[in-house]
Chains A and B, each alone.
Chain A
Amino acid sequence: MPKSSAFQARVDVAEGRLSLAGDCRAADLGTLEAALREWAGAGSRSVDLSAAGGFDIGPAWLLRRAMADAATAPAVSGPLPAHFAYLDEMLDGASARTADIAPRPRQPAGLVRLGRALEVRGESWYEALTYGGKLISTAGSAWRSWKHLRIPSVVRHAYETGYQAVPVVAVIAFLISVISAYISAQQLRPYGGEIYTVDIVALGVLRELGVLLTAIMVAGRTGSAYAAELGVMKLNDEVDALESMGINPYEVLVLPRVLGLIVVLPLLTIVADFMGLFGGAMLTRYLIDLPWPQFYMRLDEAIAPTTFWAGLVKAPVFGLLIGLTGTLRGLQVRESSRELGRLTTVAVVQSIFLVIFADALFAIFFLEIDF
């Protein structure tokens, strides 16, 4: 290790002379850069290296380039950095200038950007459709035997996405129903109609809130997990490995996850419905002094036989949408960790959007058929 001395760079603007002293290490690049810029402004006529020590290769490169960029070759006093020989050897035959770096592509014009965005949109819809098609055909062939349905795998995903989500779904349903019951009771009190709080809570929870909140919770918990799991497998070439073994990744990775969600979401919805009604009963019990038996009687009158089913039939559809979105986005991950983050986000946002959109369609449909 040579003895190091502090690096100094001085520029004599009038003479156009650059004087360097001491060892120039990578850490001194900033100082050197500033001096070189000033030197170039002063015409870069001569360079004094008589007091200079050792150069790291980065600083040597910058100095060499600055000297090559000068209009006339600057006069040099003192020995040139030892690395110049290496740089000459490296650049042998190649241009010393940086001009041959390809320029950055220009931003395309507005209309072109719009067109490209539309194209990307279209491709994404096409991809989603083919994905659904592949999954249906896989499901069709998987039905034929127990082995291909991969029941253990389905059960594992059902356990992870369902059983483990019970506490959070239960608490959310309970709280939301308490809140809506509280607001309803407040609004109905001036009219003496507090008893209708039961109707509002029962209808709201059973038809909409129970299933919708459950689906949104599951989209956040499981949609992201599916996308991240499959995305990392994709980045590690695990999906390609499965395919190379002649194993259908849709059958092994996608179908069990989607089936798991289709099975689990109705079950979670039942939990949410129960907890919602329980929350409503608690609140009416303490806020408007409605005893449990009367709550139950009022509940019996308020809901039709179909109310519960009107909520529950939506659950498998929501499960399908969440499962499809999460797995599709996961399998779309390519190349980089940023893609993984982006597509995981997209999976959650889109599955929540699709769930709410589907819920709106269901509402219109049920209205039309008077369900």
Chain B
Amino acid sequence: MASAAPAVIISVRDLVNRFGPQTVHDGVSFDVHAGEVFGIVGGSGSGKSVLLKTMLGLRKPDSGVVEVDGRDITCVSDRELREVKRRYGVTFQHGALFTSLTVTENVILPMVELLDLDEATLQSLAELRLRMVGLPVAAGAKFPAQLSGGMIKRAALARALALDPALLFLDEPTAGLDPIAAAAFDDLVLYLRRTLGLTVVMVTHDLDTLARTCDRVAVLVDGKVIVDTLPGIVRNEHPWIREYFHGARGRLMAAAGEGA
């Protein structure tokens, strides 16, 4: 583990999530440290999305504790939960941009709702966010349906950054992007992390993204979680993890494991 004790920004303890007779999470515990990129991987149906929803405070777990900035979001008032929510930004798997609004309107929506600013300032801040994620300013006037997949991901990130979050949740940020666009997105995440000191939690299946961006990785398997640095995870002997990283598509990852 890391040598100096890093600040913990999210702390998940003994999380249990059930759907009827099916237990998705059976005592999941891990910490996310400030300033790191934290990857979450797992097979289909292993509960990645449920875990993300629980960490966002959108779903109450059946038992367990999720602390964000030291506040247990599983049992706080709605007002406090809203305060916590202002501290993070989220991008959803398919962007979840509001299709009836332009990109600019999407980006400024959180600011319009939560702050009292005039139109010129909002436009200027929208421009900032678009520039930050590398979108041309002209893209602001377009509707989501007119954007390519890569641009939708970037626009979603621009909206997630609107309120200067300290914490960023990304759900499958590079799924459906070509390798070049995916690499550019990885660079962007790293760049924002480096310059803004963001903490990033991302769910991803993209092994390249995992290798390039993530400091530590949590693997959800059998309702439990295994957290380690990437080389540590790659060397893990669990059969599913071996298959994941050393299967036909994971050979590149083996190099990462030996290199460390």
Whether the pair A86, B195 counts as a contact (CB closer than 8 A) is: yes
- Chain A 301-340 interface mask (CB, 8 Å, partner B; 1/0): 0000000000000000000000000000000001111110
Asked if B181 lies at the interface with its beta carbon under 8 angstroms from chain A, I say: no
Asked if A56 lies at the interface with its beta carbon under 8 angstroms from chain B, I say: yes
Give complex CA distance A336, B145 in Å. Answer: 7
A33: min CB distance to chain B, Å = 5
Give complex CA distance A27, B111 in Å. Answer: 9
Residue of B nearest to A33 (CB): B121
Give complex CA distance A94, B164 in Å. Answer: 22
Question: Which A residues are CB-close (under 8 A) to B137?
Answer: 100-101
A80: min CB distance to chain B, Å = 15
Whether the pair A102, B115 counts as a contact (CB closer than 8 A) is: no
Question: Which A residues are CB-close (under 8 A) to B124?
Answer: 61-62, 65, 98
Asked if B196 lies at the interface with its beta carbon under 8 angstroms from chain A, I say: yes
A105: min CB distance to chain B, Å = 9
Asked if A364 lies at the interface with its beta carbon under 8 angstroms from chain B, I say: no
The 8 Å CB contact of B116, one of A30, A56, A89, is: A30
B105: min CB distance to chain A, Å = 12
Question: Which B residues are CB-close (under 8 A) to A100?
Answer: 137
Asked if A109 lies at the interface with its beta carbon under 8 angstroms from chain B, I say: no
Residue of B nearest to A85 (CB): B195
A66: min CB distance to chain B, Å = 10
Whether the pair A56, B164 counts as a contact (CB closer than 8 A) is: yes
The 8 Å CB contact of B143, one of A27, A94, A101, A335, is: A335
The 8 Å CB contact of A26, one of B99, B121, B164, is: B164
- Chain B 63-78 interface mask (CB, 8 Å, partner A; 1/0): 0000001000000000
Asked if A91 lies at the interface with its beta carbon under 8 angstroms from chain B, I say: yes
Whether the pair B116, A335 counts as a contact (CB closer than 8 A) is: no
Residue of A nearest to B124 (CB): A98
Asked if B128 lies at the interface with its beta carbon under 8 angstroms from chain A, I say: yes
Give complex CA distance A89, B99 in Å. Answer: 32
Give complex CA distance A57, B138 in Å. Answer: 21
Whether the pair A61, B145 counts as a contact (CB closer than 8 A) is: no
Asked if A25 lies at the interface with its beta carbon under 8 angstroms from chain B, I say: yes
- Chain A 65-77 interface mask (CB, 8 Å, partner B; 1/0): 1000000000000
Give complex CA distance A89, B117 in Å. Answer: 26
Within 8 A of B (CB), among A1-43: 1, 25-27, 29-30, 33
A337: min CB distance to chain B, Å = 5
Within 8 A of B (CB), among A49-103: 56-58, 61-62, 65, 83, 86, 89-91, 94, 98, 100-102
Whether the pair B138, A58 counts as a contact (CB closer than 8 A) is: no
Within 8 A of A (CB), among B54-104: 69, 86, 98-100
Within 8 A of A (CB), among B22-70: 34, 69
Residue of B nearest to A95 (CB): B137
Residue of A nearest to B195 (CB): A86
Asked if B140 lies at the interface with its beta carbon under 8 angstroms from chain A, I say: yes
A27, A29, A94 pick with most chain B CB within 10 angstroms: A29
- Chain A 212-231 interface mask (CB, 8 Å, partner B; 1/0): 00000000000000000000
- Chain B 113-144 interface mask (CB, 8 Å, partner A; 1/0): 01111100101110110011000011011011
Whether the pair A58, B125 counts as a contact (CB closer than 8 A) is: yes
Question: Which A residues are CB-close (under 8 A) to B140?
Answer: 101
Whether the pair B100, A30 counts as a contact (CB closer than 8 A) is: no
Whether the pair B141, A62 counts as a contact (CB closer than 8 A) is: no
The 8 Å CB contact of A336, one of B99, B114, B115, is: B99
B152: min CB distance to chain A, Å = 13
Question: Which A residues are CB-close (under 8 A) to B111?
Answer: 26, 29
Indicate whether A27 sits within 8 Å of B115 (C-beta atoms), given known contacts A61-B125, A101-B127.
Answer: yes
Give complex CA distance A57, B111 in Å. Answer: 14
Question: Which A residues are CB-close (under 8 A) to B254?
Answer: none
Whether the pair B131, A91 counts as a contact (CB closer than 8 A) is: yes
Indicate whether A334 sits within 8 Å of B145 (C-beta atoms), given known contacts A1-B7, A101-B123.
Answer: yes
Asked if B163 lies at the interface with its beta carbon under 8 angstroms from chain A, I say: yes
Indicate whether A62 sits within 8 Å of B145 (C-beta atoms), given known contacts A1-B7, A26-B115.
Answer: no
Give complex CA distance A58, B123 in Å. Answer: 12
A3: min CB distance to chain B, Å = 13
Task: Pull 23 A–B residue pairs with CB atoms less than 8 Å apart, ordered by A.
Answer: A1-B7, A1-B34, A1-B69, A27-B115, A29-B111, A33-B117, A56-B164, A57-B164, A58-B162, A58-B164, A61-B124, A83-B195, A86-B195, A86-B196, A91-B131, A98-B123, A98-B124, A235-B99, A334-B145, A335-B146, A336-B143, A337-B98, A338-B99
Chain B positions within 8 Å of A, measured between CB atoms, are 7, 34, 69, 86, 98-100, 111, 114-118, 121, 123-125, 127-128, 131-132, 137-138, 140-141, 143-146, 162-164, 166, 195-196
